[in-house]
Amino acid sequence: MPPEIKIISYIIFIVCLFLIKNLTVYLLIFIAISIFLIRIPLKSLKSGLIPISIFLVFTFISNVFFQHGKILYSAGSVIITEEGLHIALIRMMRVFFMIAGAKILVATTQIELLIGAFGKLLKPLERLGIPVVEFFSTMGLAMKSLPRLKDKVAEMYREKIKEGNVKGFWDRARVVSMLLLPLFVRSIQSPESFFEKDES
């Protein structure tokens, strides 16, 4: 399937999520998404698992309390109602489906193809003077340079450790931050410079 169709399908999927309020339908969506997620490598699924889980728990807790309706549990000022539980489940699953859909999209399509597809879809904005093609070209180069950026940081970090008197966690963190910021700025301003060595 072309990446442009995948992106449009994902956007339609998100819009539909905000229109559906039936938990049974959400359960069916969960089963369908789970089938797709099983096919994704475990390494891709595990990336960002902890912050995503914390965010989902926060979404649930922030919506489940203090809603009007049939009381299911009450302890002092803490009240959980049937409506609150329903709203919390819907909103938590909605966020989960958006994240899961994005993971499926990224796992099944190369990032370069996705960036190119976004550029094609938004190209009509060029008529309004928005530099869409230039922006996505730069973004594509920046994404390609990330692995080289990581290797460069690791190499410079090892050199700094050998040269200087670096001891303890905070000294190491300071060295990494001193190396990472200039390289990150360079990757944004001139991502093509990371490929000059390969071309030469």
**Better pLDDT: 109 or 194:** 109
Dist CA 117 CA 111 (whole Å) = 10
Provide mean pLDDT across the span 153-162.
71
Is the domain of 146 the same as that of 50?
A: no
- Residues of the chain with pLDDT > 70, as a percent, come to 70
Residue 117 inside a domain? The answer is no
Is the domain of 168 the same as that of 100?
A: no
Is the domain of 137 the same as that of 105?
A: no
pTM of the predicted structure, to 2 decimals:
0.64
Dist CA 99 CA 16 (whole Å) = 15
Residue 125 inside a domain? The answer is no
Contact 23, 89 (CB under 8 A): yes
Is the domain of 33 the same as that of 105?
A: yes
pLDDT for res 181? 66
Question: Containing domain of residue 167, as a range?
Answer: 131-199
Query: pLDDT confidence of 194, banded at 50, 70, 90?
Result: low
Is the domain of 93 the same as that of 182?
A: no
Which of these, 119, 93, 121, lies nearest to 33 by C-alpha position? Answer: 93
pLDDT of 10 over the 70 cut: yes
Is the domain of 103 the same as that of 168?
A: no
The secondary structure element, H or E, covering residue 198 is: helix 196-199
**Better pLDDT: 110 or 174:** 110
Render 110-156 in DSSP notation, one character per residue: -HHHHHHHHHHHTGGGGGGT--HHHHHHHHHHHHHHHHHHHHHHHHH
- Measure the CA angle with vertex 32, ends 31 and 37; round to 5°: 95
Residue 119 inside a domain? The answer is no
Is the domain of 154 the same as that of 95?
A: no
Residue 138 inside a domain? The answer is yes
Residue 45 inside a domain? The answer is yes
* pLDDT, tens digit, 9 for 90 and up, residues 63-119: 888 777 787 777 777 778 888 888 889 999 999 999 888 888 888 888 778 778 887
Contact 6, 109 (CB under 8 A): yes
Is the domain of 31 the same as that of 72?
A: yes
Query: pLDDT confidence of 150, banded at 50, 70, 90?
Result: low
DSSP state of 31: H
Helix (H, G, I), strand (E, B) or coil at 48: coil
Q: How many domains does the chain have?
A: 2
